[in-house]
């Protein structure tokens, strides 16, 4: 049994302009001790879906199921869910400065986490553990810095502290929502390193949410590519990187610096669709360089390629050559040199 | 923190000094000469002879800078502001400080009790509203707040008097609430509370309305913050999320507003003191204006400004205590 099985998750908000469907039938599974990467442009529903599972989204209509260790997180009572939050599923977020309470010391916040789930733990035991955790995530002089306020930490240290807090109770699953997006490139690598080390040490499963395929390449075992609140493609990491089927996944790969040759650095043209009254058909159609008549019909997640865990919500043929011939323009339409000359 | 404090206190002193200059200019400078200044100070009934005496006593025909010095520091036999003197009240024939000493405890009692009450009511209703926005309770508090917010103080005061004093006593024969007056706390604490309940309610209910709105919006802002999401993700109880994490941060703007409101109130709760015939600073101020009794008005202006300045400094200190980002920079 997988650690987390999300099935047909739907989340919608009532907005003044009408119902906004942020997540539209999302399914994925996370295996114990493994890392699932969820990748997609901003607004594709990555945060809303994971926070909905954790009961952190307010004022939304939520349906589907999310079985964690066999129990449905979406239907259990709020007290049971509260006990799982933090203790069995830890979370870290994009902006570590705003995610830590500005008025409380870093150590206090970690101690609070520890004692929230077991008030029998003495304060100084919890404090010793907090220092230990800070040392574990690589905070220098942890025994002094434990009494600092978040604003006295650097960006990378804050995210390390968030990780220390999320890992304090040795959860089975860590949900990391764009944990490196707000950080400098060098710091990003260090934070990912810390997460990988802790995962090996404690056997934690991780959901790594990002819009950056570079991060996915670093840490993910399996990948879900999300667009407009639904899965476009899923598969093992190498399958997605070397044998992507869906034009959206291909677009993301082409916009990745250092992927393929230099000339191929092309952002996906156009904007994500509005999630209010999305029309029938493939949601990527308006931006898709392959779109053809069948695409007005919504494609389900179809088996593609020779790997049986490889699925793609696209009508294109599985055969790479046949697919290439259906592209309206070549992928290298705008080489870097030409773009630079225009500026 | 130390430097911040010193800077704030120096700023406060500067403001107080400017207030004394402004007050001095208003009360002691008159283009038509010392005689009209003396008339203002002496009050309506003063005779010409008395006016000449005032001019002589206060040195009103001396150069202005000397007069200001006398006002600020004092002259022989006449302590100035810095020595705690506020001059003599010619209308009642006693030092202004005597009048203020009698009035101030009444106003303080009124202000302290009322502000504690309104803060409690405003915070409780504001938090409950923010925790469930657009719920029945939220709408209920919003409506009540709007109702009392738009109600003049004297109407509410008279209404409370009518119901709790008049109707209770005459119709129900329950003499639970006195109509007027003040009993010192040191004299009888129970009677002190007893006499203050209705005036406290009057002031508190009117002000609580504003605090309901303020704490609701402040709390709503804070509850949308990322660190509240973190607190929930940690598996804290909702109660702890709201009170320990939410309220802690939402308090800052409320405390700021509270300090200012309290200070203004200490300058005199004019309407409430009138309605309940309590001879506090506001009552004295009105009386002084009716009698054209300038020394008392001047004294109250100085005391009220000092209250506002001190409250501002205290608010800044509390602000720094609440927010480590201010304290540690
Ligand atoms: N509380 C909300 N009310 C209305 N719309 C929301 C709310 N929260 C998120 N959304 C919308 O849901 C969509 C998905 O958002 P999100 O999950 O944050 O995207 P991602 O994390 O992939 O960048 C966005 O279009 C966003 O505007
Ligand atoms: S279904 Fe059609 S529009 Fe959608 S991605 Fe595939 S080819 Fe493009
Ligand atoms: Mg997001």
Q: What is the ipTM of this complex?
A: 0.91
pLDDT band at A137 (very low <50, low <70, confident <90, very high): very high
User: So what's the pLDDT on residue A212?
Assistant: 92
> Per residue in A95-119, pLDDT tens?
999 999 999 999 999 999 999 999 9
- Give yes or no for a contact between B287 and B91, defined as CB atoms under 8 angstroms apart: no
Query: Of B62, B95, B128, which residue is a domain's last?
Result: B95
Give the residue, B72 or B231, on which the prediction is more confident. Answer: B231
The answer to which of A113-117, A259-263, A266-270, A295-299 has the lowest mean pLDDT is: A259-263
Give the residue, A245 or B7, on which the prediction is more confident. Answer: A245
Are residues B325 and A149, on separate chains, in Cβ contact within 8 Å? yes
Percent of chain A's residues with pLDDT above 90: 85
User: So what's the pLDDT on residue A332?
Assistant: 52
User: So what's the pLDDT on residue A341?
Assistant: 41
- Centre of ligand 2 to C-alpha A294, Å, is 8
Say whether pLDDT at B256 is over 60: yes
Mean pLDDT on B265-285: 87
Same domain, B155 and B244: yes
- Residues in chain A within 8 Å Cβ distance of B240: 116
Query: Of B95, B119, B143, which residue is a domain's last?
Result: B95
Which residue does chain B place closest to A92, by CA atoms? Answer: B230
Same domain, B9 and B152: no
Say whether pLDDT at B304 is over 90: no
> Per residue in B202-245, pLDDT tens?
999 988 999 999 999 999 999 999 999 999 999 999 999 999 99
Are residues A90 and B231, on separate chains, in Cβ contact within 8 Å? no
Q: Which domain holds residue B15?
A: 2-95
CA atoms of B164 and B275, how far apart (whole Å): 14
> Per residue in B19-30, pLDDT tens?
999 989 988 888
For the CA of A327, the nearest ligand: 2
Are residues B235 and A98, on separate chains, in Cβ contact within 8 Å? no
Same domain, B181 and B55: no
> Per residue in A308-339, pLDDT tens?
899 999 999 998 889 988 998 765 544 444 44
Same domain, B91 and B159: no
Which residue does chain B place closest to A80, by CA atoms? Answer: B235
Q: Give the predicted TM-score (pTM) of the model.
A: 0.87
Same domain, B65 and B148: no
Instruction: Give the phi and the psi of residue A226 in degrees, each rounded to 5.
Output: -105, 145
User: So what's the pLDDT on residue A180?
Assistant: 94
- DSSP symbols for B219-247: HHHHHTSHHHHHHHHTT--HHHIIIIIII
Mean pLDDT on B163-176: 82
CB distance A295 to ligand 2 below 6 Å: yes
Which residue does chain B place closest to A53, by CA atoms? Answer: B233
CB distance A20 to ligand 1 below 6 Å: yes
Query: Of B60, B95, B130, which residue is a domain's last?
Result: B95
Quick one: tokens of B323?
A: 């927010």
User: So what's the pLDDT on residue A144?
Assistant: 96
For the CA of A178, the nearest ligand: 3
Q: Which of residues 138 through 167 in chain A touch B, CB cutoff 8 A?
A: 149, 151-152, 162, 165
Same domain, B90 and B231: no
User: So what's the pLDDT on residue B292?
Assistant: 81
- Give yes or no for a contact between A113 and A137, defined as CB atoms under 8 angstroms apart: no
| Ion ligand 3, residue ranges at CB < 5 A | A 47
Give the residue, A208 or B289, on which the prediction is more confident. Answer: A208
Percent of chain A's residues with pLDDT above 70: 94
User: So what's the pLDDT on residue A333?
Assistant: 46
Mean pLDDT of chain B: 89
- Give yes or no for a contact between B288 and B300, defined as CB atoms under 8 angstroms apart: yes
pLDDT band at A260 (very low <50, low <70, confident <90, very high): low
Same domain, B185 and B65: no
User: So what's the pLDDT on residue A330?
Assistant: 62
Q: Name which of A88, A103, A179 to mutate to probe chain B: the one with the most chain B Cβ atoms within 10 A of its Cβ.
A: A103
Same domain, B277 and B239: yes
Strand partners, B5: none
Quick one: tokens of B217?
A: 């919006």
Give the residue, A164 or B82, on which the prediction is more confident. Answer: A164
CA atoms of A316 and A281, how far apart (whole Å): 14
Residue B157 vs residues B43, B146, B160, B194, B273: alpha-carbon distances, Å = 32, 17, 5, 16, 10
Q: Which of residues 85 through 104 in chain A touch B, CB cutoff 8 A?
A: 85-87, 90-91, 93, 95, 98-104
Strands A222-227 and A230-236, by their bridges, are antiparallel
- Give yes or no for a contact between B85 and B97, defined as CB atoms under 8 angstroms apart: yes
Q: Which of A55, A85, A151 sits opposite B325 (nearest CB)?
A: A151
Strand partners, A339: none
Give the residue, A15 or B1, on which the prediction is more confident. Answer: A15
**Which of B292, B302, B299 is CA-nearest to residue B39?**
B292
Q: Whose CA is nearest to atom 1 of ligand 2?
A: A314
Which residue does chain A place closest to B250, by CA atoms? Answer: A103
CB distance A22 to ligand 2 below 6 Å: no
- Centre of ligand 2 to C-alpha A291, Å, is 5
- Residues in chain B within 8 Å Cβ distance of A83: 235
Tokens 């339409």 — which residue?
A333
Mean pLDDT of chain A: 92
What's the CATH code of the domain at B236? 1.10.3720.10
User: So what's the pLDDT on residue A331?
Assistant: 57
> Per residue in A145-154, pLDDT tens?
999 999 999 9
Are residues A91 and B226, on separate chains, in Cβ contact within 8 Å? no
Quick one: tokens of A247?
A: 């034009």
pLDDT band at B308 (very low <50, low <70, confident <90, very high): confident
Residue A310 vs residues A119, A225, B37: alpha-carbon distances, Å = 45, 11, 96
Say whether pLDDT at B249 is over 60: yes
pLDDT band at A84 (very low <50, low <70, confident <90, very high): very high
Statement: A4-220 belongs to CATH 3.20.20.150: no
- Centre of ligand 3 to C-alpha A51, Å, is 10
Are residues A91 and B233, on separate chains, in Cβ contact within 8 Å? yes
> Per residue in B76-130, pLDDT tens?
878 888 888 888 887 788 889 999 999 999 999 999 999 999 999 999 999 999 9
pLDDT band at A267 (very low <50, low <70, confident <90, very high): confident
Q: Which helix (H) or strand (E) holds B299?
A: helix B294-322
What is the total count of domains within chain B? Answer: 2
Q: Which helix (H) or strand (E) holds A76?
A: none
Same domain, B88 and B102: no
Q: Whose CA is nearest to atom 4 of ligand 2?
A: A282
Q: Which helix (H) or strand (E) holds A15?
A: strand A4-15
Which residue does chain B place closest to A162, by CA atoms? Answer: B230
What would the 3-class secondary structure string for B107-176 be? HHHHHHHHHHHHHHHHHHHHHHHHHCCCCHHHHHHHHHHHHHHCCCHHHHHHHHHHHHHHHHHHCCCCCC
CB distance A86 to ligand 1 below 6 Å: no
Domain with CATH 3.40.50.300 in chain A: 4-220
Tokens 């901003």 — which residue?
A42
């Amino acid at each position: 049994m997988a650690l987390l099985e999300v099935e047909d998750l739907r989340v919608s908000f009532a907005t003044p302009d009408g119902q906004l469907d942020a997540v539209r039938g999302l399914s994925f599974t996370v295996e114990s001790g493994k890392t699932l990467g969820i990748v997609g442009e901003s607004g594709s529903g990555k945060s809303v879906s994971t926070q909905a599972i954790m009961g952190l989204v307010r004022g939304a209509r939520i349906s589907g199921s999310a079985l964690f260790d066999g129990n449905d997180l979406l239907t259990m009572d709020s007290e049971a869910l509260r006990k799982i939050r933090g203790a069995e599923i830890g979370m870290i977020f994009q902006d570590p400065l705003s995610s830590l309470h500005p008025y409380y010391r870093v150590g206090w916040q970690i101690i609070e986490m520890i004692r929230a789930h077991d008030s029998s733990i003495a304060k100084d035991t919890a404090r010793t553990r907090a220092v230990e955790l800070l040392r574990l995530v690589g905070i220098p002089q942890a025994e002094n810095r434990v009494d600092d306020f978040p604003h006295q930490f650097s960006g990378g240290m804050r995210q390390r502290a968030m990780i220390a807090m999320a890992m304090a109770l040795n959860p089975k699953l860590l949900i990391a929502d764009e944990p490196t997006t707000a950080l400098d490139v060098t710091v990003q690598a260090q934070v990912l390193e810390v997460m990988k080390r802790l995962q090996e040490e404690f056997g934690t499963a991780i959901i790594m949410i990002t819009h950056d395929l570079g991060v996915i390449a670093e840490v993910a075992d399996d990948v879900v590519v999300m667009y407009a609140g639904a899965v476009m493609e899923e598969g093992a990491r190498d399958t997605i990187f070397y044998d992507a089927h869906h034009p959206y996944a291909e677009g993301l790969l082409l916009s990745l610096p250092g992927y393929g040759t230099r000339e191929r650095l092309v952002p996906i043209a156009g904007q994500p669709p509005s999630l209010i009254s999305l029309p029938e058909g493939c949601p990527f159609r308006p931006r898709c360089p392959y779109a053809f008549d069948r695409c007005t019909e919504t494609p389900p997640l179809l088996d593609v390629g020779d790997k049986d865990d490889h699925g793609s919500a696209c009508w294109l043929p599985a055969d790479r050559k046949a697919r290439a011939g259906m592209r309206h323009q070549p992928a290298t339409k705008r080489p870097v040199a030409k773009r630079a000359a225009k500026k | 923190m130390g430097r911040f404090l010193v800077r704030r206190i120096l700023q406060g002193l500067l403001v107080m000094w400017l207030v004394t200059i402004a007050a001095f200019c208003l009360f002691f400078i008159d283009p038509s000469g010392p005689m009209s200044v003396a008339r203002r100070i002496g009050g309506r009934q003063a005779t010409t002879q008395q006016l000449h005496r005032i001019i002589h006593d206060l040195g009103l025909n001396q150069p202005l800078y000397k007069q200001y010095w006398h006002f600020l520091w004092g002259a022989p036999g006449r302590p100035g502001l810095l020595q705690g003197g506020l001059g003599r009240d010619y209308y009642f024939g006693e030092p202004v400080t005597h009048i203020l000493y009698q009035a101030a405890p009444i106003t303080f009692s009124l202000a302290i009790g009322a502000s504690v009450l309104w803060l409690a009511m405003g915070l409780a209703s504001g938090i409950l509203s923010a925790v469930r926005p657009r719920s029945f309770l939220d709408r209920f508090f919003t409506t009540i707040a709007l109702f009392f917010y738009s109600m003049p103080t004297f109407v509410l005061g008279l209404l409370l008097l009518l119901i709790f004093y008049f109707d209770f006593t005459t119709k129900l024969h329950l003499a639970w609430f006195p109509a007027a007056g003040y009993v010192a706390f040191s004299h009888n604490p129970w009677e002190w509370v007893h006499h203050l309940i209705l005036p406290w309610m009057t002031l508190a209910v009117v002000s609580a309305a504003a605090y309901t709105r303020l704490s609701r919006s402040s709390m709503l802002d804070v509850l949308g913050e990322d660190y509240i999401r973190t607190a929930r993700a940690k598996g804290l109880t909702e109660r702890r999320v709201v009170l320990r994490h939410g309220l802690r941060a939402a308090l800052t703007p409320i405390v700021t507003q509270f300090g200012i409101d309290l200070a203004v109130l200490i300058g005199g709760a004019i309407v409430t003191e009138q309605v309940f015939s309590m001879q506090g600073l506001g009552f004295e101020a009105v009386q002084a204006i009716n009698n054209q009794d300038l020394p008392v008005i001047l004294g109250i202006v100085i005391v009220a400004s000092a209250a506002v300045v001190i409250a501002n400094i205290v608010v800044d200190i509390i602000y720094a205590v609440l927010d480590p980002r201010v304290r540690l920079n």
